[in-house]
Amino acid sequence: MSTLVNDSGFTSDDWSEPFITLDAANDASALDVPSDANPADIPLCDGLRMIRVDFPSSADGRGFTIARQLRLRGFTGRLRARGHVLADQYAMARRSGFDEVEISDELAARQPEDQWQFRANWQDNNYQARLRG
């Protein structure tokens, strides 16, 4: 099982459609994208409403780049990070373009909801915006 995290904390998953792998992405409404995917090769079809990017390790930051590049290419659907994302990385996930994070129930037990909500004010703690004035 898994736990879904957004700015309000732990929440239930309301997505019911199947995720399609990147190699079978023709007209999919939801894609599963591996961390080593080239963002330019991800097809942004008209019916695509959700992209879930895998994080095989908390030390693997390629998913943040994928999310940012997808947003720059104009993807406006839901972006979900899945896997080994830590509560400390939640603000980075949101700033790079993710809407939500899917973690294992085991990780949710080790890093409870209050640790994730502590970082839900990611817009208030953007040092780059403070530097720009």
CA distance 32 to 42: 10
Q: How does pLDDT run across 87-111, given as a tens digit for each residue?
A: 999 989 999 999 999 999 999 999 9
Grouping H, G, I as helix, E, B as strand and the rest as coil, residue 53 is strand
The reported pLDDT for the residue numbered 23 is: 80
Q: How does pLDDT run across 36-46, given as a tens digit for each residue?
A: 999 999 989 88
The reported pLDDT for the residue numbered 122 is: 57
Nearest Cα residue to 119 out of 91, 79, 81, 77: 91
What share of the chain has pLDDT > 70, as a percent? 90
The domain spans of the chain are 2-132
The answer to whether the Cα torsion of 95, 81, 35, 111 is positive or negative is: positive
CA distance 109 to 72: 34
Q: Please identify, in words, the CATH class of the domain defined by 2-132.
A: alpha beta
The reported pLDDT for the residue numbered 130 is: 57
What share of the chain has pLDDT > 90, as a percent? 71
The reported pLDDT for the residue numbered 132 is: 60
Q: How does pLDDT run across 52-69, given as a tens digit for each residue?
A: 999 999 888 999 999 999
Per-residue b or e along 3-25, where b marks 16 or more CB atoms closer than 10 Å to that residue's CB: bbbbbeeeeeeebeeebbebeeb
Nearest Cα residue to 58 out of 40, 81, 37, 42: 81
